Each structure stands twice: as C-alpha cells, then as structure tokens.
Structure 1
Amino acid sequence: MSTLGDRVKGEREARGWSQAELARRVTHAGYSITQGGIAQIERRGDTEPKSIVQLAEALGVSVNWLQTNRGDKHAGGTGLSAEAAMPEAGRRRMRELASAPAVRTGLNRSGPLQIYASAQGGSEGAMILSNEPVAWIPRDMRLEGVREAYGCFVSGESMEPAYERGNLLLVNPAAAVGPGDDCLFLRETADGTRYVLVKRLVRQSATAWTVKQYNPAKTYTLARKDWQKAHLVIGKYNRAN
C-alpha cells in the first residue's frame, strides 16, 4: 500500500516535475516550502505535512485522497465538498441527526442548520472549513433565529477532553464573545480558504486574542490581523460511539 509520501512523489513524477518545481507550486498555493521540504515529505511515509492542502492543490488532487488513498482522487482539489472529508464518527453523527425526530432530540425543524466539513491542514493545528455546506440538519433551538448559525466537525485533538474528534460544534457567529467562552477563531486567506481554531478565550485586546487549549495544555496569543473573527461555540453533539 502506498504512503502519503509515495503518492506525492508519484503525482510529481507523473507530471515531470522536479522537487524544486513542486515546492514552487506549493509556495504559490500559499504555503512556503523548499525543495528540501518536498524531499522530506516524500521520505516520511504517512507523516502528514502542514502543507497538505496546498500540496493537494498544486498536484490537482483531493486532500482526502492524498491523506488516505481513498475516495475520488480529483474531487475538487481540496476534497472538502464531500462527506468523506469528515471524521468517520462525524459522518455517523450527521446521519443520526438528520433522521432523528425533532421532539426527541430537542431540535427545531423550522429551518435546517448548515453543516460544514473540516480537515486538518493549517498551521497551529488549524482545521480547514469547506466553502459550501455539505449537509443540513434540524436546527438546534438555541440557534433559532440566527440566520448565520452553522455547525462543523472537530478534526483535531487539541481541545480534548472538552471537544473530541468527531464532535459536531454548534456555532453562533452573531453573538459577542468574552473571556471564558469557547470560540471558533477564523482566518480567511486571499484565495478564500477558511482556517479555524477551536480554543477557549482567555482575554482579548485590540490586537490579539489570548487563548488556551487542553491537549497539550498551552496558553498563547493569536494576532487579530491574522485571526480576524471569533465565533461563539454554544454547544456540541457528541460523536457516535
């Protein structure tokens, strides 16, 4: 079975590119990398690089295929428009929620909630959100009347045990945030890629967010010029067991 490094090398060679040429294209896609960095990726087997999304874009393949060797190889570049980009637990939970009776789940069916797929791929453990919803589920009553509300799946482990891989986060982007709130911090790049971090807000200033995570325990700052928005996480649906 091929490794991630094998797939990168195979796709690069199929295009007749040198490692330096692939590095140039990945850098152009938004992640600065050298020829030596590409060589390391090809040598390191299935160790996922931080540049996974830009690699997939440069090679014209889906992130999901590059990560797992499964699914549609050419599913729209990042591959985040498909349910396959979600954690398996998240996919099960989405199917459960979509079919659950509203009276039993405490959900309001007056308007569905948009759900975005996520995949690991940014710096600092950031997730990348799909640009379009991949599903719609019955709206939680706590988000009734919030037109911009959405849900997204956790694909990392930095906030365990509070938020685990596969949990579905319920997000209210219209609410004000303050110290002690769990937030989804958003960074949007010029090409429209949306990076998010799930963190606990400790304090904020005009120039920075001070945040903390649990796994590993760490408190640090995010520059507001980079992480422009903080959306309030009002709850979660636990992953399916």
Structure 2
Amino acid sequence: MLKHADIWRAIDRLAQRHGLSASGLAKRGGLDPTTFNKSKRTTPDGKLRWPSTESIAKVLEATGSSFTEFVSLTGDGVAGAAGAGMAGALQRVPVIGYAQAGNEGYFDDAGYPVGNGWDELEFPQMADPHAYALEVSGDSMEPVYRDGDIIIVSPTASLRKGDRVVVRTKGGEVMAKQLARQTATKVELISLNRAHPDRSLTMPEIAWIARIMWASQ
C-alpha cells in the first residue's frame, strides 16, 4: 500500500529528475508555486495532507512523464531515486474496464479478478496480490474521478468510514462512492458526484465492496 511519504518522495524525485525544485515543478504544471511545499504536506494540527490526483496529472503532463514512471519513483532506495531497477518492487495489476466490472465472469465470489487477457500496469508492491485497476467511464464520479481515470482497488484492504470504495451489487451495478457507515446489515454510501443520489444497500444486495487505494489521471 502506498504511504503518504511515498507519494511526496516521488514528487520530489520527479522535480529533481527535471532539474527543478518542488516549487519549480508546481509552477511548470501551472499550479500555485506552494502546492508541493513541505509546509503543505501536513495540516497545522499535524494531519497528513495528500497531493490531489489533478495536481499530479498536471505535472506529469508538463514533464512528459507517465504514471508508471511516477510510481517507480516512490521507492525508498537509491534505485527508486534513479527511476530504474525497481522491477522487484513492482507488481503487475490487471486493468479492468468499468463496463466489464458489472458483467459476470470477471470476478469471483470474493471480489477478486479472474481470467486473463486484460491490459496491465505496474504499480508499487502492495500487501494485496489481488489488487487491480479499474478504468472509469462516464461522469457519475466527477469531479473526483473523471472518464478515463485509472483507479487502483484492493479487495482485501480494511474499510473505514470516509474511505472511497467501489461496490458491485448482485444485480451487476458497479459504483464508486464514499463509505459513510457500515453495519452488519447494511452499507450507507455518499455519492462523489452530488448530482447523483446517495445509496443505502443491504448486505444481501452487495456482491463485493473494495477500497480505492489510488487514482491516476
């Protein structure tokens, strides 16, 4: 699982690779120069503050870098800093289309992807060997996730209130929401796009629920 320090390490290394400071990288991406400052990485009361996927997408575009290159910079060793030699620290995850996720035959009863023939991408090694990527389609998750974004999903990650999750119903409906509350009998979900309704599902209605670990634009 990617940690707060991993993401900020990758941003610093991306800046260094292009001969920039963190402030210079932000400016090149058309962002406020203070976006990646050390002081912006935690809140005044000490809570961790994460960079937005939008800000990362902008600096990747501005530097001509790919998401795979970015995640290769998250390692804490010299190899990570060099952007090379990371093969042992990466795992290949299948990329599943959003429409596929609602069809029979793509997941087992536990919500793990099955079969093969999908596209794959490399991602830093996680505790969950069943992790997969889901390609967003449509506008139901805007502005948090947009059409074409890639979401990294972990079926085995523990769930907490406030987590963003992907839920598949037994009827084949797939949705990405924010977890508001989970009890032994039902799950209450908040829509990321406020133009779409919140949902309350009983446990018998749910095929599986998985935590969103990371997203790329």
Q: TM-score, normalised by structure 2?
A: 0.51
Secondary structure of 1:225 counterpart? helix
Shift, 1:177, TM fit: 0.8
Amino acid at match of 2:214: G
Shift, 1:195, TM fit: 4.0
Secondary structure of 2:197 counterpart? strand
Q: Which runs of 5+ in 2 are unaligned?
A: 1-65, 81-85, 107-114
**Corresponding residue for residue 164 of structure 1:** 146
| TM-align CA RMSD | 2.9
Shift, 1:102, TM fit: 6.0
**Corresponding residue for residue 198 of structure 1:** 176
Secondary structure of 1:145 counterpart? coil
**Corresponding residue for residue 115 of structure 1:** 95
Offset from partner CA, 1:157-215 (integer Å, 9 cap, x none): 222111111110011111111210100112346xxxx5421111111122211111124
Q: Percent identity?
A: 22
**Corresponding residue for residue 226 of structure 1:** 205
Offset from partner CA, 1:132-154 (integer Å, 9 cap, x none): 45111112x2x523111111111
Aligned residues: 131
Contact preservation (8 Å) 1:201, 1:209: yes
The reply to whether residue 147 of structure 1 matches residue 125 of structure 2 is no
Amino acid at match of 2:134: C
**Corresponding residue for residue 120 of structure 2:** 136
Distance 1:219 1:188 in 2: 18
Shift, 1:118, TM fit: 2.1
Distance 2:67 2:157 in 1: 24
Contact preservation (8 Å) 1:184, 1:230: yes
Contact preservation (8 Å) 2:128, 2:157: no
- More relative contact order in 1 or in 2 (CA 8 Å, sep 6+)? 2
**Corresponding residue for residue 56 of structure 1:** none
Offset from partner CA, 1:54-78 (integer Å, 9 cap, x none): xxxxxxxxxxxxxxxxxxxxxxxxx
Contact preservation (8 Å) 1:97, 1:137: no
